[in-house]
Amino acid sequence: MNKYLDISPEVKAALDDGKPVVALESTIISHGMPYPQNVHTALAVEQTIRDHGAVPATIAVIGGRLKAGCTPEEIEHLGRTGQAVTKASRRDLPVLVARGQDGATTVTTTMIIAAMAGIKVFATGGIGGVHRGAETTMDISADLEELAQTPVMVVCAGAKSILDLGLTLEYLETKGVPVIGYGTDELPAFYTRRSGFKVDYRIDTPQELASAFAAKLAMGLKGGMLVTNPIPEQYSLDPDYINAAIDRAVARSVELGIKGKETTPFLLAEIKNITGGLSLEANIQLVLNNARLAAQTAACLAQE
C-alpha cells in the first residue's frame, strides 16, 4: 500500500470483495463548475453510480493525502474553495503531498490514484487533448500521456470541443490508446454528439466494453482505454452554435494571454457565460450519463 494513499472504508470494502468501483475526478468540482452546482453535481454523480450497482470513489488530494473516496464534507470543501484549490496534474503531486496541501485531480491524477488503489474504471466529463494552435504553443494535455501508460478505462463524452480533435486522435493513435465509440462510429465532441472524426471501434454494450478491457489487462498491454459516450440527444447543443461560442471564448483567452492549466477553466466559464448557462446544463447531463455507463461497465468487469 502506498504510504500516502487513503482508501475510504466503503471503497476498500468493495475492492476487497471484488465489487465494482468507479473513480471520479475532483477538478470538475473545483474548476469545472460554479458553486453550488459543482457540489450538487458531484453528489448526484456518486448517487447515479450507486443506483447502477457500483461504489463511487471521488478522488482528490486533501491535506497532502491521496484520497480514493471522499466524504461529502470533503466534496463540499472542494466545491466551496473552488479555483483556490490547486489543479493537480502528475507534476504537482510530489509537492502537494510534501507540503500537506489540497489538490483537485485532473483526468491524469485521477487515473494515477485510481491505479494505486486498484480501481479500473473512471468516469469523467471530457478528457484534455491537443489544444488549438499546439503546433506553435506545444500545449498538449498530460491526460494523453497518462492514457498511454496507466491501466484505467476512462469513460467520457469525448475530448473537450475547445480542443483540436483531429490532432488529439492522431496523438492517441501514436501512443497506442484504443478509442472506443459507445454506440457510435464517430468521436463525440463533449457538448455535441458528432465531430466528423471516426473512432477506432464501435462497441454497443457494457459487457463488450468490459471484455475488451479485461483482454487488454490480461495481455499486459501498457496504458488505458478511452471510451467516448455521446451526450444524450435531448441535451446536445447545436454544433454551429456551440462552435461559435467556443471560437469567441478562445479569441478572448488569446486576448487576455490565458495559458497553461488556466486555459480550460477559463474557456469553460467563458462558454457558460456566452451560452447563458446552456453549456453548464449540458456538462452536468453528460457527466451523469458517463457515470451510468461506467457503473454498468465496472459491474460487468467485476464478473470477468
Domain ranges of the chain: 5-301
Known catalytic residues are: 25, 160
Residue 199 CB neighbour total at 10 angstroms: 22
Q: Please give the mean pLDDT across all residues of the chain.
A: 93
User: Of 84-98, 124-138, 207-221, which range is least confident?
Assistant: 124-138
- Structure confidence at residue 160 (pLDDT): 72
In terms of pLDDT, which residue wins out, 201 or 1? Answer: 201
CA distances from 130 to 68, 79, 143, 180 (A): 28, 27, 10, 18
E-state strands within the chain = 5-7, 21-24, 55-62, 65-68, 86-88, 103-105, 121-123, 153-156, 179-182, 201-203, 225-228
More confident residue, 246 or 59: 59
What band does 200 get if pLDDT is binned at 50, 70 and 90? very high
| pLDDT class of 247 with cuts at 50, 70, 90 | confident
φ, ψ of residue 86 in degrees (nearest 5): -65, 130
Averaged pLDDT for residues 88-110 = 97
Return the CATH architecture of domain 5-301: 3-Layer(aba) Sandwich (3.40)
Tell me if 65 sits within 8 A of 120, measured CB to CB. Answer: no
- So what's the pLDDT on residue 207? 98
C-alpha cell at 157: 463524452
- The average pLDDT across 172-185 equals 98
Range 258-286 average pLDDT: 84
Question: Above 90 in pLDDT, residue 184?
Answer: yes
At 1, is the pLDDT very low, low, confident or very high (cuts 50, 70, 90)?
low
Percent of the chain at pLDDT exceeding 90: 77
Q: Is a pLDDT exceeding 90 seen at residue 174? A: yes
Categorize the per-residue pLDDT at 68 as very low, low, confident or very high, splitting at 50, 70 and 90. Answer: very high
Average pLDDT on 11-24 reads: 98
Span 39-52, average pLDDT:
97
Given a cut of 80, whether residue 250 has pLDDT beyond it is yes
